[in-house]
Chain A
Amino acid sequence: MLRMKARSLELSPPAWTILPRNLLALVVILAIAIMMHAWVRPAVGNYYNRVMMDVGINIVLAVSLTIVNGFTGQFSIGHAGFMTLGGYVAAATTYYGSQLLWSKAAFFGGTLSSNTAESVFSAGLLGGGDLLFVAGCVLGGCIAAGAGYVVGLPSLRLRGDYLAIVTLGFGEIIRVLLQASGPQVTRTADIAAKNPFELTTALGGALGFTRVPIYTTQFWTILFGGVTLLVAYRLKQSSMGRALLSIREDEVAAEAMGVKTTRMKVLAFVIAAFFAGMGGGLYAHQLGQINAGELGFMKSFDFVIMVVLGGMGSISGATLAAIVLTVLPELLRGVAEYRMIVYALLLIVMMLVRPQGLFGVREAWELIRPLTRRMFGSGAKA
């Protein structure tokens, strides 16, 4: 009887149907993003708007890193490298793209990309500029994913500290290469005259890539953050995600149970790098510039801390940690120069009190639901 089932499982229906129910999540994310941008943004003012955007970007980065460090158990400390790479690609795409299309690197977006529009619905929601911006972010994500593939390859052989050193090295290589790039071309006529391939190396060098039109708004950070969360969640709830988790738990046993461990590890790196690249795009278009020197390994550690603090592999944990660790330094502005000391002390206390992270390996909802059941030591499935 079970053998029959085995066959039917292997021949799962190939029909490519996207059920409306599966798109619902995306519609909800979109609706929240528009509502937050339309009503919350004007109400809270510039400062809080800025903090909320930072939170969104950090969620993208922390949750994507959770896929590698948390799910798969591969210790990567080069996440900022992917972010930088994607950020530069996205920034260069919008800057040079705007110059070529509209002869000027200015804002050509709709109200969804505007942090100043009084009413979101007064003018067009989207303009040509934001489409270019989104295309830039996706392209940045893809290039970062390619880099993720290259970095993922050594992870086939290395583990633990050794892999960490490789990813650290990768992040530094990205930084050094970008800082060694040629000066940014700023005259419209020069840009038009140049071969597009020459522009790919004109990334500003040590000065960073500046004059990037500002497109990042709450709408985009919530949309990208929401999509990152959705992908991570669906991955974790799937057979593929469980295969990643099994590698973290015991690689030898995972392989013996038929998990293609090498392929899955590279896959984790590629997915994480893609979202990190997109996050880098958001970052560059929030600040109006991106500088590889500011996104060194210290930035990578910020994200590692978020993942560890949240609990290895816990999406809700990483999200909460990203929120707390973004808001906390802002709250501590009151104690001025002691800010970083207090911040560090809080981290130490956290690790002493809950070494497994906020939620351990579980998700917030998993901890709440079976609490009473676990008290009696039996976990009967409802």
Chain B
Amino acid sequence: MSALLTVDNIGISFGGLKAVQAFAVEMRAGDLRGLIGPNGAGKTTVFNLLTGVYQPNQGIISLGGRRLNGLAPHQITAAGMSRTFQNIRLFGDLSVLDNVRIACHLRTRSGLSATITRAGGQIGEERAITERAMELLAIFGLGDRVDEQARNLPYGDQRRLEIARALATFPKVLLLDEPAAGMNPQEKRALRELIRDIRRKFELTILLIEHDMGVVMDICERITVLDYGQIIAEGTPAEIQKNPAVIEAYLGTADAPGVRKE
């Protein structure tokens, strides 16, 4: 089976700062991979490169054989890659239902004339969107809060709503940026189950940025470790835990300044 998402040697610099260098990853359909690294390692920059927010200076990104370089973010979403945001970016003033319905817009056909005249199956289409959004929200346990403004949801619910919204675009690849951030231990446990669940139900390929090692080590099959914009390790969770380069990146070395050598 060939790779679904191929990222080959991408990099980007901001001025003189090489934010990400020679990043490469290959994911087969159904993979669940973790992307970890210390703060400022360039993890979110990788997501921004993959989703077209930034254009890489070099390298190739391809999804299912289609090259994604140079495409606008909405085109990449249409091609089947969707994401959540580290600092939640919901449509705060809009209802929970509308947040998900907006993500369905991409798959609709009705143009302006059909919208104004409500002709050409527009009403049926609206109904289908609402139905689909309600189904998704029910899966995420938000079925009874559809009318609430998104900004009024508790933090954990907002994170889950972001995932629901990303799924409404019907992605093949889902990029999750710190989904467990700010969650309490119970919520984190539930999140692990949820990620496993949606992966199976929606046949997803997931790339996950996460600081919570409990979550990462538990659900990811493989892990890529970034530091200073470069990959320093790659492997199974067990391999990563023992990798000296990873330990060094996270904890520092014994001969770092300020640490006394015994």
Contacts and interface: CB of A to CB of B under 8 A. Distances in A.
Interface stretch (A6-14, A39-47, A170-178, A295-303): A6-14
Contacts of B169: 257-258
Interface residues of B, number: 63
Contacts of A370: 147
A245 B202 contact: no
Interface in A241-275: 241-243, 245-246, 249-250, 252-261, 267, 271
Contacts of B254: none
Given A6-B107, A12-B109, A258-B169, A238 B122 contact: yes
A258 B147 contact: no
A239 B74 contact: no
A240 B122 CA distance: 11
A195 interface: no
B183 interface: no
Nearest to A23: B117
Given A249-B94, A259-B105, A239 B129 contact: yes
A173 B3 CA distance: 56
Interface string A306-326: 000000000000000000000
A5 B203 CA distance: 15
Contact of A378 (B77, B108, B129, B144): B144
Contact of A361 (B93, B102, B124): B93
Contact of B103 (A17, A257, A271): A257
Interface stretch (B35-43, B57-65, B81-89, B184-192): B81-89
Contacts of A243: 102, 105
Nearest to A361: B93
A239 B147 contact: no
A15 interface: yes
Interface string A77-90: 00000000000000
Interface string A1-28: 0110110111111111111001000000
Contacts of B117: 18, 22
Contacts of B131: 5
Nearest to A14: B120
A381 interface: yes
B132 interface: yes
Contacts of A9: 104, 107-108, 125, 128-129, 132
A94 B201 CA distance: 63
Contacts of B118: 19, 22, 234
Contacts of B224: none
A242 B102 contact: yes
A238 B98 CA distance: 10
Given A239-B108, A258-B77, A2 B202 contact: yes
A8 B144 CA distance: 26
Shortest Cβ-Cβ A-B pairs, 10 listed: A258-B106, A379-B147, A249-B91, A13-B121, A258-B77, A253-B89, A255-B73, A257-B103, A22-B118, A12-B121
Given A240-B111, A257-B169, A381-B144, 11 more contacts: A3-B170, A5-B128, A238-B115, A240-B115, A242-B94, A246-B91, A249-B93, A250-B92, A254-B91, A258-B105, A267-B112
15 contacts: A9-B128, A10-B107, A12-B110, A19-B123, A242-B101, A256-B77, A256-B83, A257-B102, A257-B103, A257-B106, A257-B168, A258-B169, A271-B112, A361-B93, A381-B144
